[in-house]
Amino acid sequence: MISRKQIIDLLRSDPLRHIMTLKMINLYGDHMIFDVIQNEDSWVILSKLPISASAEYDRKTYPESDFIILIDGSKEIDKKNIVDDLPSGTYIVKTYDHQIKDHLEKKYGAKKVNSFISYTANSAPLLEKKFRVE
């Protein structure tokens, strides 16, 4: 059994790539369940957060869902099959990995429900602001 500290250490090996899961562990770690596969230096982590323990946004946006699933891993390992052993239910999968997205669409008929881009920076570049209100 792998400890939460070991999971965090794996995720911190590439913190920008795994920032969402690190944030969720920081906020909801006591409620999360982790499945980990390690093979020498390769690893994949499937993190499950019950929707009832999640942020108000997720509970309101996906009220019919049972869990939020986050999938992270090293670049060398095939991550897509880790979702094949989940019990029946409704899941929201948050992932950056296109192979996982393709696998979920083909095997389970998954559909994209929402998407966003977020970033953190010490200083933002100056951008020309354009607003349109109708």
Write out the two tokens for 59. Answer: 């509970």
Per-residue model confidence (pLDDT) at position 22: 96
Q: Does 120 or 103 have the greater pLDDT score?
A: 103
Q: pLDDT > 90: what percent of the chain?
A: 42
Per-residue model confidence (pLDDT) at position 16: 92
Per-residue model confidence (pLDDT) at position 123: 52
Query: What's the CA gap between 37 and 42, in Å, rounded?
Result: 8
Query: What's the CA gap between 50 and 77, in Å, rounded?
Result: 26
Pairing of strands 91-94, 42-50: unpaired
